[in-house]
Structure 1
Amino acid sequence: MTDTLAAPDLTGADLPGDYPARARSLTALIDSEADAIESGGTLTRPVVEALVEREIFWALVPRELGGAGLGIVESLKMVEELARADGSVGWAVMSNAFSTGIAAGFLSDQGARDLFAGAQRGITAGMILPTGSGRRVEGGYRVTGRYGFGSGTGHASWIGAGFVVQTDEGTPELDANGGPVCRVAFVPRDEVEFLAGWDVMGMEGTGSYDYAVTDLFVPEAHTMDTFSTVPTRPEPVFRLGLLGIGVGGHAPVALGIAQRALEEIARIASAKSRPGYATVVGDSPMFRREFMTFEALLQAARRYVYDAHADAEATAVSGQEITAEQRARLRQVTTWVQQVARDVVTFAYSWGGSASIRNPSVLGRCLRDISVGAQHLLVEPMTLVEAADAILPTYVTQD
């Protein structure tokens, strides 16, 4: 695993002004490291160092705590640029930057300052769903749990560990609505037992390791309500909620992978010959028609992703409540774009011929990565069924 790194003092440093441009400036480096990232199972040290130097991990952290204080749209565009360079990099950084932003926005003020306001600004990662258990003790909790899919944990300094609060009798503590009390603990990485366990067909370089904590004391200030809808910070982006931020990050990863696939097949087809084609494959009317169809589909998906998030963010900035329809559209578009991206990548891969199947292959990696990314629990097709509750009634006209 990559050693965790502290953020440097970059006062006066010559960095690109906007964060998508900072991410784009890493394309050549990420390209050169992509094979090593995939074979090593996590981001390489040169890539992590470059991300730290550009302060990418703290994009959503409020300025008061030393971050960039970005809104959701610019953060999504930053992730798309990284995913365009490599799917695993986009996914891992999405996991880090968005969970870091959530921690900054929903921890207590003391907890957020402990993690982010000092010289060693934290990078978070890990499983926040309540698969562990914890007991209340003086000053905090004692937490035990085993976790999987800890994307970005290879270089994170604080690891998330979701848990259900248990009574002394071993039963779940209940909240005012009769549901279990669930919290997320953020634990220093040196107090976590890493179990490896990341051997998959795609998104191989995301460092999504299994890990465990055993009877570990966690201060109250380093925990937060798993399903809170009320942020502790005033910045409008946090009104999107844990789901609005955490789920939305999956959309630009899909967009970036699909964009890279189109770029790769356009380059390959411009020089590739095949029997039965008068010139190169790229001159074929059949290829050109399909390319333009899938390119239009990707452009439409990108526009909807950013329009839906911009609309919800504008509502938050105005001080109004984000509507149920707006939240449903965020869920709808984030799930739908996975299928769009998979179709775009499959088109590109199919036309690549031997260039798609000979390793190392960018198109091969794109296909593997989008196939795994689209299987994630947060973009499961049933989320479209759930989103219909708020969207479908808007199409029913009243007499």
Structure 2
Amino acid sequence: MTAVLNEPTTSPKVEDRTHLERAKAVAEIVEAEANAIEEGATITKPVYDALVENRLFWMAVPKELNGMGLGLVESFEVIEELSRADGSTGWAFMANSLSTSLAAGFLAPQGQQDLFAHDVPGITAGMILPTGSGRKVEGGYVVTGNYQFASGSAHASWIGAGFVVSDEEGNPLTTPEGGPVCRTAFVPRDEAEFRGNWNVWGLVGTGSYDYGLTEVFIPEEHCFDTFTTEAVRSEPLFRFGLLGIGVGGHAPVALGIARRALDEIVKVATVKGRVGYPTVIADSEIFKLEFAKTEALYRAARAYVYEVHREAEDWVNAGNPLTELHNARLRQSITWVQEVTATVTNFAHRWGGSQSFRNPTALGRATRDAAVATQHLLVDPMSMVDAAGAIMGEYGNGRS
């Protein structure tokens, strides 16, 4: 018998807030907890409680499944605000909220119920790419695999596990096109073996631990085709597909970190003097010139990220599938903004003096977080190369 979803338990005061009002309220708590988040390598209980109270973990989950039903652009605005407060929190929240939306959009109805038919719905984390192996058995799969980078896993209730499927004799199954059959699954957190090895110098508070599964049975209803473009649900958000949703969230994290670096360097520059400067460095023409150019670069990147995502969202909201050019523009903007954020944080770092490397300081965190964020596989510069062909088609044809 199908479970009946509970009504959300938020108070009218919370329900009456816009998504940005909720994000700003949580961001105040995040800023107060930022040092503790980095020290503990994960978000703290006050931050977790605030995210639950404001239903933000489920912002991109359909309302029917206890979520807020936000689209991608509105979700980006929430991620950006939390990343401005603390890069690690924004990153972990991005990983949780967007992978949770994928579970809502692509799992079969019974799987959706199992994850979301609760007063506190499921929160997901972990790797969905097929690095494990799964043996097909009656009713599901027996999966073994080693995984990395489970950002936000300390407070997640379900953990992602991608795997390549074989038959009961261990022979790999293939698609009609000859490729491997790959599935993505979510398992209860206590079925994963966490290795506690997140020892890094940037994005420290994301808790992006390695983990593994050993002969874990996963029912079919908790799995979906890793490379599908067909969502189970009809909400336009899911027409962005697994990669469109999962990769896109890196852009607002970068934007939030860049904004925080600019905020912090202005605070420093207005009180900090240097040898050879008659007053504080904020009065220096050199600083003003570099700040104006860097801030313009940040604003241009932010405008472009939101421009291409709004255009794509309007397109899918009208019932259309994304075109090759849409996908190229999305990938271009998501990767480019990482480079811009690196430029912004390097500028702030260079002018910040000891505030750039002391612990704990927000400017030091922003610098380190940006340096680590640019190393992610999904924002490698090669994605710009892949996007260039479709974008070049708009040029060289003589049109004004």
TM range (shorter): over 0.9
SS at match of 1:331: helix
| Superposed displacement of residue 31, structure 1 | 1.5
The CA RMSD over aligned residues, in Å, is 1.5
Once the two structures are superposed, residues 158-210 of structure 1 have per-residue CA deviations (whole angstroms, 9 ceiling, x without a partner) of: 00011000123323210111100000110001111111111111001001111
SS at match of 1:214: strand
Q: 1:354-373 to 2 correspondence within 5 Å? A: 354-373=354-373
Partner of 1:145: 145
1:22 paired with 2:22, answer yes
In 1: Cα distance, 2:27 partner to 2:276 partner = 36
Amino acid at match of 2:32: S
Does the Cα contact within 8 Å between 1:16 and 1:22 map onto a contact in 2? no
In 2: Cα distance, 1:11 partner to 1:140 partner = 39
SS at match of 1:306: helix
SS at match of 2:13: coil
Once the two structures are superposed, residues 284-316 of structure 1 have per-residue CA deviations (whole angstroms, 9 ceiling, x without a partner) of: 111011111111111110011111111111010
Once the two structures are superposed, residues 337-365 of structure 1 have per-residue CA deviations (whole angstroms, 9 ceiling, x without a partner) of: 00000100110111010121221121111
Partner of 2:376: 376
Once the two structures are superposed, residues 215-242 of structure 1 have per-residue CA deviations (whole angstroms, 9 ceiling, x without a partner) of: 1111100001111111111100110111
Once the two structures are superposed, residues 55-110 of structure 1 have per-residue CA deviations (whole angstroms, 9 ceiling, x without a partner) of: 11000000111100000000001000000000000000000000000110111111
| Superposed displacement of residue 274, structure 1 | 1.1
Does the Cα contact within 8 Å between 2:14 and 2:54 map onto a contact in 1? no
SS at match of 2:154: coil
Partner of 1:249: 249
Partner of 2:112: 112
SS at match of 1:186: strand
SS at match of 1:119: coil
SS at match of 1:246: helix
| Superposed displacement of residue 7, structure 1 | 11
Does the Cα contact within 8 Å between 1:126 and 1:149 map onto a contact in 2? yes
Partner of 1:324: 324
Does the Cα contact within 8 Å between 1:193 and 1:211 map onto a contact in 2? yes
| Superposed displacement of residue 272, structure 1 | 0.8
Partner of 2:201: 201
In 1: Cα distance, 2:154 partner to 2:160 partner = 13
In 1: Cα distance, 2:114 partner to 2:292 partner = 50
Partner of 1:339: 339
SS at match of 1:369: helix
Does the Cα contact within 8 Å between 1:84 and 1:260 map onto a contact in 2? yes
Once the two structures are superposed, residues 101-151 of structure 1 have per-residue CA deviations (whole angstroms, 9 ceiling, x without a partner) of: 011011111111211123341000100010000011111111111111011
In 1: Cα distance, 2:147 partner to 2:225 partner = 18
TM-score of the superposed pair, with normalisation by structure 1: 0.96
Partner of 2:226: 226
Partner of 1:65: 65
SS at match of 2:194: strand
Partner of 1:393: 393
In 1: Cα distance, 2:28 partner to 2:237 partner = 31
SS at match of 2:98: helix
In 1: Cα distance, 2:14 partner to 2:260 partner = 28
Amino acid at match of 2:329: R
Does the Cα contact within 8 Å between 1:20 and 1:79 map onto a contact in 2? no
In 1: Cα distance, 2:101 partner to 2:43 partner = 20
SS at match of 1:196: coil
Partner of 1:3: none
Partner of 1:92: 92
Partner of 2:212: 212
Partner of 2:236: 236
In 1: Cα distance, 2:85 partner to 2:183 partner = 35
Amino acid at match of 2:167: T
Tell me the number of residue pairs that the alignment of Structure 1 and Structure 2 aligns: 394
Partner of 1:82: 82
Partner of 2:9: 9
In 1: Cα distance, 2:259 partner to 2:120 partner = 35
